[in-house]
Amino acid sequence: MEAQFKRGDSCWKQRTGLEKWILTLLPCLILIILVLIIVIAMQQDHTKENVAYTSSNEEICVTQSCVSTSNLVLEYIDTSVDPCDNFYKFACGNYIKNNIIPDEKLAVNSFSIVNDKVQQQLRVVLESHDKNEAKVLQTVKDYYKACMNKGKIAELGLQVLKDVLVSCGGWPVLEGPRWIPDSFDWENLMFAFNRIGFDSGYLVEVTIGTDLKNNSIRGIQLDQPSLGLSRDFILQGNESQFVQGYFKYMIDVAVELGCEKQAAERELKESLDFEIELAKISSSKEERRNITMLYNVMTIAEIQERFSGIQWLEYLNSILHPHVHVNSSEAVNVVSPRYISSLIDLLSRTPKRVQANYAMWRVIKSQISYLTEGMIQHQLNFHRTLFGVSERPSRWKECVEEVTNTYKCVICTNLSIIYYYLWIGWMSRLGKVHLTKLLC
Ligand SMILES: *[C@@H]1O[C@H](CO)[C@@H](O)[C@H](O)[C@H]1NC(C)=O
Ligand SMILES: *[C@@H]1O[C@H](CO)[C@@H](O)[C@H](O)[C@H]1NC(C)=O
Ligand SMILES: *[C@@H]1O[C@H](CO)[C@@H](O)[C@H](O)[C@H]1NC(C)=O
Ligand SMILES: *[C@@H]1O[C@H](CO)[C@@H](O)[C@H](O)[C@H]1NC(C)=O
Ligand SMILES: *[C@@H]1O[C@H](CO)[C@@H](O)[C@H](O)[C@H]1NC(C)=O
């Protein structure tokens, strides 16, 4: 025994370093191979479970999602139609037969069906309570709650908006002779809007975007603004039902805020005419397809030389404040040079009162959804003329939409994560741990 042991011992000692290493590794390798074989075998079992074989040995997916998807496709198919005759009717016939567009919607399609489902899930999430949740989620939920609080909205009425308007210098049509043009210039009004958090791109839109010719560069862009009524509609002239509906909307809102109807009609007609002029100097969608024409990069100093009449350096820095400060050698893309020069000309011909009436109207219009029932009714009337919708979506839908839109930018990537974890978390009570880790 002793000898044998000794021989064995010396046998190990006689091995070279490499041989010892291989001998130690061998059992490990065998173990790994065994594990792999088991895993592969298990996976094959798993796929077999979900795939049934037809006699011709073609694979057919019978997982839950495959079955429910094919079921959905079958529901849409109209089998009474010959696909060689009218394939579209064959493929979608029953979908069209069985779906009625709800009064508050413009269209229904597969995307809107998914969207409705997500909205419902988000509602459950937004209305749930959890004491120990991340601050960002609490903020989102508070925002939703404020949106749903119709009692408070009715109680505050229009006073908050009126105060804000006065703090920006007042809406001339509402102020009447009290409004004095001397101290007004549109740049300062835009800075005031910007400070409050309103959009400030009603005459010139300043954005930061990806360079059209080199996507590693992000830069400032000066562009034409979007209008209160889309350019195509507004150019149909003031006899068209859309422009008429838009004009009526302005007057209704002004009267709701306390204007006298005749005064509103008189003054806002000029504001509308100004907006029609803005539409005329803007480029059409077709013209904006030509990338070469949309690419006019120049320094702020060059812009100042070419488009005098606006103090560009000061203007851009005030709009970008406090995030960015630029100097006059900063390169800026003037997307539509023709618009900018026409705008300067148009502004020099337009009374300050008209400019103020227009800009203020645009800000008021952007806030209607947050105001009283009366105001929202005017908005609905306008949308009825414009889109043909005859009812508003339920309040919760509007609020879910509002929350999703608002926080889309603020917490870009987070929202999908919030949605995912909140929803999954709500379902399983498991995900919230991950969410707190992710966000805090
Ligand atoms: C794009 O911009 C980057 C950063 O300024 C620069 O390094 C690169 O050479 C540019 N590419 C082209 C094609 O101009
Ligand atoms: C309608 O258009 C005409 C001519 O373009 C203009 O003179 C008139 O003031 C416009 N009316 C309204 C309500 O804007
Ligand atoms: C785009 O605009 C440029 C500059 O004005 C012009 O030379 C070019 O022909 C236009 N391209 C098309 C496809 O219209
Ligand atoms: C403007 O700022 C850039 C960097 O942001 C700097 O390199 C450049 O020297 C400045 N130009 C002037 C004229 O101050
Ligand atoms: C969520 O947003 C915050 C603040 O914007 C950011 O710091 C954080 O990295 C984001 N989390 C994820 C997972 O993107």
Of ligand 3's listed atoms, the one at least distance from the Cα of 290 is: 1
Share of the chain above pLDDT 90, in %: 57
The end-to-end CA distance of the chain, in Å, is 66
Ligand nearest to the CA of 283: 3
Span from the CA of 279 to the centroid of ligand 2 (angstroms):
14
Q: Is the dihedral of CA 252, 253, 254, 257 positive or negative?
A: positive
Measured by CA distance, the residue closest to atom 10 of ligand 5 is 414
The reply to whether ligand 3 has any atom less than 6 angstroms from the CB of 292 is yes
Tens digit of pLDDT for each residue in 134-152?
Answer: 777 788 889 999 999 999 9
Closest-lying ligand 4 atom to the alpha carbon of residue 328:
13
Which of the four pLDDT bands, split at 50, 70 and 90, describes residue 119? confident
- Cβ–ligand 1 distance for 217 under 6 Å, the answer yes
Quote the ligand 2 centre to 48 CA distance (angstroms): 74
Q: Which ligand is nearest to the CA of 293?
A: 3
Q: How confident is the model at residue 17 (pLDDT cuts 50, 70, 90)?
A: low
pLDDT tens by residue, 50-83: 444 445 557 888 888 889 888 888 988 999 999 9
Give the pocket of ligand 2 (CB within 6 Å).
Answer: 238, 269, 272-273
Q: Whose CA is nearest to atom 6 of ligand 1?
A: 216
Q: Residues with Cβ < 8 Å from 340, sequence gap 6 or more?
A: 204, 222, 307, 334
- Work out the average pLDDT over 24-36: 60
121-135, 173-187, 362-376: range with lowest mean pLDDT = 121-135
pLDDT digits (tens, 9 = 90+) for 252-305: 999 999 999 999 999 999 999 999 999 999 999 999 998 899 999 999 999 999
How far is residue 131 CA from its own chain's centroid? Answer: 29
Higher-pLDDT residue of 11, 162? 162
Side chain identity at residue 428, one-letter code: S
CB of 286 shorter than 6 A to ligand 3: no
CB of 253 closer than 8 Å to CB of 375 = yes
Ligand positioned closest to the Cα atom of 211: 1
Please tell me the distance between residue 338's alpha carbon and the centre of ligand 1 in angstroms: 28
Which residue owns the Cα nearest ligand 1 atom 5?
217
**What residue ranges define each of the domains in the chain, with the CATH number in brackets?**
66-101 (no CATH), 109-156+398-420 (no CATH), 158-371 (1.10.1380.10)
The full 3-state SS of the chain, as one line of letters, equals: CHHHHHHHHHHHHHCCHHHHHHHHHHHHHHHHHHHHHHHHHHHHHHHHHHEEECCCCCEEECCHHHHHHHHHHHHHCCCCCCCCCCHHHHHHHHHHHHCCCCCCCCCCCHHHHHHHHHHHHHHHHHCCCCCCCCHHHHHHHHHHHHHHCHHHHHHHCCHHHHHHHHHCCCCHHHHHHHCCHHHCCHHHHHHHHHHHCCCCCCCCEEEEEECCCCCCCEEEEEECCCCCCCHHHHCCCCCCHHHHHHHHHHHHHHHHCCCCHHHHHHHHHHHHHHHHHHHHHCCCCCHHHCHHHHCCEEEHHHHHHHCCCCCHHHHHHHHHCCCCCCCCCCEEEECCHHHHHHHHHHHHHCCHHHHHHHHHHHHHHHHHHHCCHHHHHHHHHHHHHHHCCCCCCCHHHHHHHHHHHHHHHHCHHHHHHHHHHHHHHHHHCCHHHHHHHHHC
User: Angle at which helices 395-410 and 135-148 pack, to 10 degrees?
Assistant: 140
- Give Cα 27 to chain centroid, integer Å: 58
Residue 374, CA distances (Å) to 228, 262, 267, 292, 363 in order: 20, 20, 22, 47, 18
pLDDT tens per residue across span 381-427: 999 999 888 888 899 999 988 888 777 654 445 556 666 555 555 55
Q: Give the relative orientation of helices 110-126 and 395-410 as an angle to the nearest 10 degrees.
A: 90
Dihedrals φ, ψ of 54, to 5°? -85, 175
pLDDT per position as a tens digit, 207-234: 999 998 999 999 999 999 999 999 999 9
The mean of the pLDDT values for the chain is 84
With a 6 A CB cut-off, is 290 part of the ligand 3 pocket? Answer: yes
CA of 326 to the centre of ligand 1 (A): 21
Residue with the smallest CA separation from ligand 4 atom 11 is 329
Confidence at residue 59, expressed as pLDDT on a 0 to 100 scale: 81
Question: Strand 297-299 vs strand 59-61: parallel, antiparallel, or unpaired?
Answer: unpaired
Do the Cβ atoms of 364 and 370 come closer than 8 Å? no
Query: Looking at the CA of 331, which ligand is closest?
Result: 4
Question: Which residue owns the Cα nearest ligand 1 atom 1?
Answer: 214
Ligand nearest to the CA of 239: 2
Q: Take atom 8 of ligand 5 and give the residue whose Cα is closest.
A: 439
Pocket of ligand 5 (CB under 6 A): 411, 413-414, 417, 438-439
Q: How distant, in Å, are the alpha carbons of 105, 134, 388 from that of 391?
A: 8, 36, 9
Indicate which atom in ligand 2 lies nearest the CA of residue 238: 1
